[in-house]
Amino acid sequence: MRTILLAHVKRVVIKIGSGVISDNDGLDLDRIATLCEDVHKLRQRGYEIILVSSGAVAAGRADLGITGKPHTISLPLKQAAAAIGQSRLMRAYKDALQQHGLKAAQILLTRDDLANRRRYLNARNTLMTLLEFGIVPIINENDTVVVDEIRFGDNDNLSAMATNLVEAQLLVILSDVDGLYNSDPRRNPLAELISEVERLTPEIEAMAGTEATMLGTGGMVTKLKAAKRATLFGAGTAIINGRTPHNLLYLFDGHELGTYFLPARDPMAARKHWIAFTKKPKGKLILDDGAYKAVVERGKSLLPSGIHRLDGSFERGDAVRLCDLNGNEFAKGVTNYTSAELTRIIGKKTTEIESILGYKYGDEIIHRDNMVMGTGKEYNDQ
Ligand code: GLU
């Protein structure tokens, strides 16, 4: 029984994959109805539920004669299919939730929306207001407008961002597989389901294989990345088979289904998590040895005197990578100064900032509170 792990859970993000609610002919309305029945029961038990649902492309693709796996379809065609399918998807949820006296609200997001702190906070306010009114928010990527640079790319990733956005304690990923296996169950009949993961080590990540499913964009790889993001934020993550009717409810009943990833023991604060995972770095600062030590060993903010060189063009509020003199990246932070301003003040003392620029935003180029340790590879932004 896993009840104990769910004891502190109040707000839950549930990610519903295309493979769960659609097949080659489009949406599977029965499955959507069964899921909404479970959502209703969970709400009756006092949980706040936010859905992240895929299925727009799957719902619209037949109209354009599209066949084949999502990654083989061109972006404009996928976007056109999503434009056709998104309203169908919402209609299906609206009808199914209505059976239980519930209302749905559509939230379409791009990564760019969440990387901008004001838009991020606005999206958060909207979601909180919907929850207050007892409405079920249903999030999807705004597929029709995204280009590569501002895409989440897959809804596993989006669901992890949403978990941070609404500060949920649990992320449930409904998939068309039972969970994480120690090898690919489609190839190896002896593959075993891993019931619990305490820490996402490289060995565990290697178990994910590489293949995506037929209808969804992600495979186990993107699910593990999502689990990593969510657990680092302090939210437990369950990957379960959403095609089996009422599995969602069974999970909350305490049954040991799928794979459960325990929340990190030392979770990141929401803002740091946002810097680590949502903001894309726009440039690089190379620090001298003194500044490197001050930041890494003494937990200090970054001052202009310790910056040796900078790369790239960035604005105030953008994220930049921090590197040592050998070019090794070790942190990421949000800069208080633009690259143009920085070229004029690097290597200078904080007391000189104002006389050089004629103004100053503060002594720190990157305040400690706006900095996260680790490489982009760890944050999957490379
Ligand atoms: N946003 C896409 C859709 O609704 C799904 C992306 C994914 O499969 O993760 O069809």
Q: Which of 208-217, 306-315, 355-364 bottoms out in mean pLDDT, i.e. has the lowest?
A: 208-217
pLDDT of amino acid 1 = 53
pLDDT of amino acid 219 = 79
Q: What is the pLDDT of residues 113-165, one digit of tens each?
A: 888 888 999 999 999 999 999 999 999 999 888 766 667 778 999 999 999 99
Can you tell me which atom of ligand 1 is nearest the CA of 82? 10
Can you tell me which atom of ligand 1 is nearest the CA of 143? 1
Overall average pLDDT of the 36-42 stretch? 98
Any atom of ligand 1 within 6 Å of the Cβ of 219: no
pLDDT of amino acid 382 = 46
Identify the CATH assignment for 2-272 out of 3.40.50.300, 3.10.250.10, 2.160.10.10, 3.40.1160.10. 3.40.1160.10
pLDDT of amino acid 218 = 60
Task: Check if 2-272 and 280-373 are the same fold.
Answer: no
Q: What homologous superfamily is domain 280-373 in, according to CATH?
A: PUA domain (2.30.130.10)
Overall average pLDDT of the 46-69 stretch? 92
Tokens found for residue 131: 């929850």
Domain spans of the chain, in order of start = 2-272, 280-373
Q: What is the pLDDT of residues 153-200, one digit of tens each?
A: 789 999 999 999 999 999 999 999 999 998 877 788 888 999 999 988
Any atom of ligand 1 within 6 Å of the Cβ of 143: yes
Any atom of ligand 1 within 6 Å of the Cβ of 154: yes
Can you tell me which atom of ligand 1 is nearest the CA of 155? 9
- For residues 363 and 69, the model is more confident at 363
Any atom of ligand 1 within 6 Å of the Cβ of 216: yes
pLDDT of amino acid 32 = 98
pLDDT of amino acid 322 = 96
Any atom of ligand 1 within 6 Å of the Cβ of 60: no
Any atom of ligand 1 within 6 Å of the Cβ of 336: no
pLDDT of amino acid 31 = 97
Res. 259: pLDDT tops 60? yes
Can you tell me which atom of ligand 1 is nearest the CA of 86? 4
pLDDT of amino acid 103 = 98
pLDDT of amino acid 44 = 97
Any atom of ligand 1 within 6 Å of the Cβ of 140: yes
pLDDT of amino acid 326 = 95
The preferred substitution site among 155, 214, 239 for testing ligand 1, maximizing ligand atoms within 8 Å of CB, is: 155
